[in-house]
Amino acid sequence: DFQRGSKLPSIQDLSEKLQVGRSSVREALKQLQIVGVVELKQGKGTFVREKFDVTSLSESIGYLLTLHKPDIVHLMSARKIIERGTVELATEKASKDEIEKLYNLLQGMKKEIDNPDRFAKYNVQFHITIAKASKNPLLPIFFNSIYDLFFREQQAVARLLKLAPQSIEQHIRIWNAMKERDPDKAIKEMMEHLNCVERAILKGF
């Protein structure tokens, strides 16, 4: 959880912490530099900028996504990198009200299991709520920026891949881990969920 003005760890340290390749970390830092979130100080390292326009940040990310036209497979790869840290923070910092909101969203998913569009909306809101619960203001911005892509992915999961029942069970396990304030378990359940969705997408498309 990096504050404004703080120095980021080295690429090697970030790679090990996030369990992703160094090239992925470099690309992520490059994109964050483009949208003005971080800055490179010669001979000192990479720092979170003291001041940046949070209001326009979501639009900037959305613009970059429009240029690159990522597909669902790319989206899943990005989600796996980001949601690992997001659910860890949220498990530690979520309020009782946020835990309750996640429970209510789960009930909505159960209720709309036969309606792919409504099911997808509850599913997306579940993950956005986790991002907000992290108390890191950049994470909800990221999720809102990819909302359209995220929503289409969840529609595919619900309508084409018939994973709604399994998805609900996985989200329940994520919620239980968060309610128990067990970040390691929450990470495990989140990654199992995302890996399952990714496998289904690769098989289905």
Q: Which of 107, 130, 137 is nearest to 119 (CA)?
A: 107
Q: What local confidence, expressed as pLDDT, does residue 71 receive?
A: 65
Write out the two tokens for 176.
């239980």
Of 43-47, 76-80, 121-125, 184-188, minimum mean pLDDT range: 76-80
Q: What local confidence, expressed as pLDDT, does residue 139 receive?
A: 87
The model's pLDDT over 62-76, given as tens digits with 9 standing for 90+, comes to: 545 554 555 667 777
pTM for this prediction: 0.68
- Residue bearing the bigger pLDDT, 172 or 78: 172
Give 117's contacts (C-beta < 8 A, 6+ positions apart). Answer: 155
The model's pLDDT over 26-56, given as tens digits with 9 standing for 90+, comes to: 887 887 777 677 888 888 889 988 776 555 5
Q: Please provide the average confidence, as pLDDT, over all residues in the chain.
A: 83
Q: What percentage of the chain exceeds 70 in pLDDT?
A: 80
Mean pLDDT within 10-29: 82
Q: Where are the domains of the chain?
A: 1-52, 71-204
Which CATH number applies to 71-204? 1.20.120.530
Q: What local confidence, expressed as pLDDT, does residue 94 receive?
A: 98
Write out the two tokens for 4.
């404004």
**Is 96 buried (19+), middle (13-18) or exposed (0-12) by CB count in 10 A?**
exposed
Mean pLDDT within 94-113: 97
Residue reference for tokens 């899943």:
76
- Residue bearing the bigger pLDDT, 28 or 60: 28
Which CATH number applies to 1-52? 1.10.10.10
